[in-house]
Structure 1
Amino acid sequence: MENPSQIDPRERAIVLALKAERERQGISAAQLAKEINISRNTIPNLERNEARPTLWVVLKICDGLKINLKELI
């Protein structure tokens, strides 16, 4: 597990925006992970600040939520 103080605040802001959108849409982390074909632990780990997001995962989550990454930034 990475030390949360080492996670870039910009990365954290993107993850929190994705979480807020996921919750706004009423989709569980497990449901979204299954839909976009990633590990069921990935989204909760990101949201708990236990992992750093890769661009690939962020784009997959955006696709699953049907939003554009530009909307988050």
Structure 2
Amino acid sequence: MKCRLTLFFETFGYAKLDGGKNDNKPYLFIAGFNQNTYDHLPITLTSGRLPKKTRKFSFPMKKEEQMDVI
């Protein structure tokens, strides 16, 4: 069996989320993706654009809906 595609992401860790609506998950999982990974994952932007600079990030809509801090 041959592997035709490999996608990578880097786990940065978790950040405490103050003011979140979900008491069972009072944190954010933070990971970094390269362009190839973004190109192959089922990610659809609802507004704006993907970050172009380091130290910038985007939130999934589901997470944004659970948070009361954005």
Give the structure with the higher percent helix: 1
Whether these two folds match at TM > 0.5 is: no
Which category of TM-score, normalised to the shorter sequence, fits these structures?
under 0.3
Q: Which has the higher strand share?
A: 2
